[in-house]
């Protein structure tokens, strides 16, 4: 059984990274729920 690999566009990646920078209080778990992305994907 093969797993489908999802690709996220550069704009989404930049928005998430920007929200993780100071002085925001956003956390990886919060953003993962909001965007429907696995937490491990954001950590990469």
Q: d(Cα 33, Cα 3) in Å, to the nearest integer?
A: 21
Q: d(Cα 8, Cα 19) in Å, to the nearest integer?
A: 16
Token reading at 8: 């996220």
pLDDT at residue 36, as a whole number: 92
Mean residue pLDDT across the chain: 87
Higher-scoring residue by pLDDT: 28, 43:
28
For 9-24, what is the mean pLDDT? 89
- Nearest alpha-carbon partner for 4 in 38, 28, 33, 29: 38
Q: Is residue 22 part of a domain?
A: yes
Q: What is the pTM of this model?
A: 0.73
pLDDT at residue 1, as a whole number: 61
Q: Judge whether 16 and 35 are in contact, CB under 8 Å.
A: yes
Q: Is residue 14 part of a domain?
A: yes
Q: Does the pLDDT of residue 22 top 90, yes or no?
A: no
Q: Is residue 16 part of a domain?
A: yes
Q: Is residue 1 part of a domain?
A: no
For residue 22, give its domain range.
10-43
- Structural domain count, the chain: 1
């Amino acid at each position: 059984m093969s797993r489908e690999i999802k690709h996220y566009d550069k704009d989404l990646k930049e928005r998430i990274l920007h929200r993780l920078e100071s002085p925001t209080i956003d956390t990886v778990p919060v953003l993962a729920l909001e965007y429907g992305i696995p937490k491990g994907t954001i950590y990469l």
